[in-house]
């Protein structure tokens, strides 16, 4: 028989196995409980969704029935109103139709008359414009011709002014050349006189100094020669002065001639301008008179067209009143001719009201059932939500462990 020491490990082994079995049983129980919680939670959610769908469907049906009832009630109310006021509607709307037809006829006649008058005036205006164009054409041609002459004369004045400026420049140039030529000739005289005095001084010193006869004769010959040069230079001054003055005189004569031409051109230009202004004034007066006549017709045509437009508006307004009254008459006659339709609609409305009331009861019942079901299953649905959150948390933890494992 084994001793106590031999039996101790056996007892320990049995105890460990027992605890393992207890843990396993507890885990199985917990798993079974969790599964039951999930089943209950899913069933509760499904039942709530089904109740909500039934409730929503019933509300949609109630809305449809209420809409149909509301439309039929409006039709019935209108038919009953028409039947109650049939004689008054017929009397009033018939009078409106008659008055509208009369006004439409009168306005249509006015439109046709006004448009006919406007068309006749437009034809008259076209003829008047052609007539004015024929009458004004000669005056316009005369004016254009006078304007051409005036423009041509103005161009001639411009050319004459340029010629005067050219002649003035020529006078200025001739005067400057005259001064230069005379100054040059005078300088030549002064130079000759200076040389003459010099030779005369040399001759006097030679004579006073008892120079030989040959030298004195040479100096005397030189004095004679310089005298001749002085006389020649003085004669040249006269010649140059006459020639330069003649050139200046010719330039001044040319300038005077050009100024005379400018004055003549200006007189002709002024005359041409006066003639053009006169011709243009005649043409403008006739043109203004013609335009005033045409404007008078244009204003009449515009007034007639405006009146025609107003008549069209009045016609359209009368037509709208006619159509509205005619529609009310047709409606009243149709309702009056079909009392059986009113009776049928009245019965249909009564039945629809009962159906709406019945459907309202169904909606109220389903709403109460849905509220009661949500209250009863609140715990199961919350438990399902918690279980789902736990599962999600476990999955997240496992993923984190796997990712961070070495």
Lowest mean pLDDT among 27-31, 209-213, 272-276: 27-31
Beta strands in 50-181 (DSSP E): none
pTM, 2 dp: 0.48
3-state helix/strand/coil string of 333-372:
HHHHHCHHHHHHHHHHHHHHHHHHHHHHHHHHHHHHHHHH
Give the pLDDT score at 36.
65
Alpha-carbon span 314 to 307, nearest angstrom: 10
Give the pLDDT score at 30.
41
Question: In the structure, what pLDDT confidence band is assigned to residue 255 with cuts at 50, 70 and 90?
Answer: confident
What is the longest distance spanned by two Cα atoms in the chain? 205
Residue located via tokens 């004669």: 235
pLDDT, tens digit (0-9, with 9 covering 90-100), for 166-209: 888 888 887 777 777 777 777 777 777 777 677 777 767 776 67
Percent of the chain with pLDDT over 90: 38
Q: How many residues does the chain have?
A: 406
Give the pLDDT score at 35.
58
DSSP 239-288: HHHHHHHHHHHHHHHHHHHHHHHHHHHHHHHHHHHHHHHHHHHHHHHHHH
pLDDT, tens digit (0-9, with 9 covering 90-100), for 283-339: 999 999 999 999 999 999 999 999 999 999 999 999 999 999 999 999 999 999 999
Q: Which of 387, 393, 284, 291 is nearest to 34 (CA)?
A: 387
């Amino acid at each position: 028989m084994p001793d106590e020491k031999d039996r101790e490990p056996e007892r320990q082994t049995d105890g460990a196995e027992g605890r393992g079995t207890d843990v396993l049983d507890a885990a199985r129980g917990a798993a079974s409980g969790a599964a039951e919680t999930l089943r209950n939670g899913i069933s509760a959610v499904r039942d709530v969704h089904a109740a909500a769908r039934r409730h929503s469907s019933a509300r949609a049906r109630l809305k449809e029935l209420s809409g149909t009832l509301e439309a039929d009630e409006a039709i019935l109310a209108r038919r009953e109103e028409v039947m109650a006021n049939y004689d008054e509607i017929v009397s009033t709307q018939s009078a409106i139709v008659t008055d509208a037809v009369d006004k439409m006829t009168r306005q249509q006649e006015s439109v046709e008359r006004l448009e006919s008058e406007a068309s006749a005036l437009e034809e008259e205006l076209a003829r008047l414009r052609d007539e004015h164009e024929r009458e004004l054409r000669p005056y316009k041609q005369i004016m254009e011709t006078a304007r051409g002459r005036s423009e041509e004369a103005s161009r001639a004045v411009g050319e004459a002014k340029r010629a005067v400026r050219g002649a003035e420049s020529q006078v200025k140039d001739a005067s400057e050349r005259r001064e230069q030529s005379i100054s040059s000739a005078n300088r030549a005289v002064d130079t000759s006189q200076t040389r003459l005095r010099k030779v005369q001084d040399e001759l006097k010193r030679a004579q006073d100094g008892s120079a030989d006869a040959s030298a004195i004769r040479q100096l005397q010959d030189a004095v004679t020669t310089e005298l001749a040069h002085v006389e020649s230079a003085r004669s040249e001054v006269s010649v140059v002065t006459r020639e330069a003055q003649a050139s200046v005189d010719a330039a001044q004569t040319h300038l005077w001639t050009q100024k005379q031409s400018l004055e003549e051109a200006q007189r002709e230009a002024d005359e041409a301008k006066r003639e053009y202004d006169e011709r243009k004034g005649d043409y403008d007066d006739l043109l203004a008179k013609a335009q005033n006549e045409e404007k008078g017709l244009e204003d009449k045509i515009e007034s007639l067209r405006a009146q025609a437009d107003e008549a069209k508006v009045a016609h359209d307004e009368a037509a709208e009143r006619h159509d509205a009254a005619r529609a009310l008459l047709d409606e009243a006659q149709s309702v009056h001719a079909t009392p059986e339709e009113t009776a049928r609609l009245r019965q249909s409305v009564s039945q629809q009201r009962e159906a709406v009331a019945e459907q309202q009861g169904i909606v109220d019942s389903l709403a109460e059932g849905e509220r009661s079901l949500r209250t009863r299953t609140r715990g199961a649905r919350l438990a399902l939500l918690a279980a789902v959150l736990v599962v999600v948390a476990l999955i997240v933890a496992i993923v984190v462990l796997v990712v961070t494992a070495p």
